[in-house]
């Protein structure tokens, strides 16, 4: 059974810092990995999707990498802003889509 772990569980940084969120998974036989953002009480917003054949994807200030063999993905956020404050979730696609518990990010002005 695929297990997905996200570290750290919570992170607080001052505005302007670059930061990295981590996602690890136990079964490397995945089809894709997707990063989401969730604001309190809301649904999930898709940020980036990386197919298993890809190493990274970029969207604006976000860069996600995937190392399938080691079971790891990172989400890099450049020049963080208070509006980036949210919970970030990774989901691993195999026969279904399994989520980690998320990293709660707070960016202080």
Partner 1 sequence: EAEVAQSPRYKITEKSQAVAFWCDPISGHATLYWYRQILGQGPELLVQFQDESVVDDSQLPKDRFSAERLKGVDSTLKIQPAELGDSAMYLCASSRADYTEAFFGQGTRLTVV
Residues that bind partner 1 (CB under 8 A): 4, 6, 31-32, 34, 36, 41-46, 49, 51, 89, 91, 93, 95-102
Minimum Å distance from CB 70 to partner 1? 21
**Residue with Cβ nearer partner 1 (78 or 101):** 101
Minimum Å distance from CB 83 to partner 1? 19
Burial of 57-95, coded b for 16+ CB within 10 Å and e otherwise, reads beeeebbbbbebeebbbbbebeebeeebbbbbbbbbbbe
**Residue with Cβ nearer partner 1 (18 or 46):** 46
Burial of 43-53, coded b for 16+ CB within 10 Å and e otherwise, reads ebeebbbbeee
């Amino acid at each position: 059974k695929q297990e997905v772990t996200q570290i750290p569980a919570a992170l607080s940084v001052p505005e302007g810092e670059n930061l990295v969120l981590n996602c690890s998974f136990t079964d490397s036989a995945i089809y894709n990995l997707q990063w989401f953002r969730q604001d309190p009480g809301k649904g999930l917003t898709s940020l980036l999707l990386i197919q298993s054949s890809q190493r990274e994807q970029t969207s604006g200030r976000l860069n996600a990498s995937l190392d399938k063999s080691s079971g790891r993905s990172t989400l890099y956020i450049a020049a963080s802003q208070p509006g980036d404050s949210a919970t970030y979730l990774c989901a691993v696609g195999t026969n279904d889509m399994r989520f980690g518990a998320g990293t709660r990010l707070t960016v202080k002005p």
